[in-house]
Amino acid sequence: MRLTSTDGAEIELRPLGYQYPSIEGDGPRDWDANWLYIRGDVRLADGRRWHFEDACLTTWEAAELAGWLRSAAAGEVRAIPFPADEEQLLVFTEPNLGFSLAATAEGCRSVRVHFSLEARPRWATPPGDDVDLYDFFVTVTTTVPELLRAVEEWDCDRALFPPR
């Protein structure tokens, strides 16, 4: 999925494949069989870029993300100020990515995509400094139709990697 902001920032997230492609799965919640490698390509409004690849979402977390984005587009997710408690964010088992809603306006949504650990750009973490998870984020302000288009794209991409 590609989220493009009105300020020029852009975030693209794509599932690349299963972390363990040869595992068939042993039931509906076989963790090892359902980890997905996610590739992220990020461009900030000021032109800085980075990318990451990490097994940071499960197949069911990828579905949860799609549902959350649809709910945000529908106006069913409450905008929260930042900083916020982790409980107010959409977070996952591996804390590399998180999502929160920064603001809503008529026909627009401002979605924060939080980047931590392997998903965070190296230049955003000074050596020796303690950083809080989810404190580094990029806010993407986009129209509701564009947000829904991005979710449809995400659904098509993740359909290639169903729960096993």
The CATH label, of 2.30.31, 2.40.50, 3.40.50, 2.60.40, for the domain at 2-159 is 2.30.31
What percent of the chain is helix, strand and coil (3-state, nearest 5)?
25, 35, 40
Q: Which amino acid is present at 10?
A: E
What interhelical angle do 59-73 and 144-159 show, nearest 10? 160
Tens digit of pLDDT per residue, the chain (164 long)? 999 999 999 999 999 999 999 988 776 679 999 999 999 999 999 999 999 999 999 999 999 999 999 999 999 999 999 988 888 999 999 999 999 999 999 999 999 999 999 999 999 876 666 678 899 999 999 999 999 999 999 999 999 999 99
The whole-angstrom separation of Cα 57 and Cα 36 is 6
pLDDT value at position 125?
Answer: 75
pTM exceeding 0.85: yes
Q: From start to end of 34-107, where are the E strands?
A: 35-43, 49-58, 90-91, 97-105
Domain ranges, ordered by start, for the chain: 2-159
pLDDT value at position 112?
Answer: 98
Q: Six-digit token pair at 139?
A: 């806010």
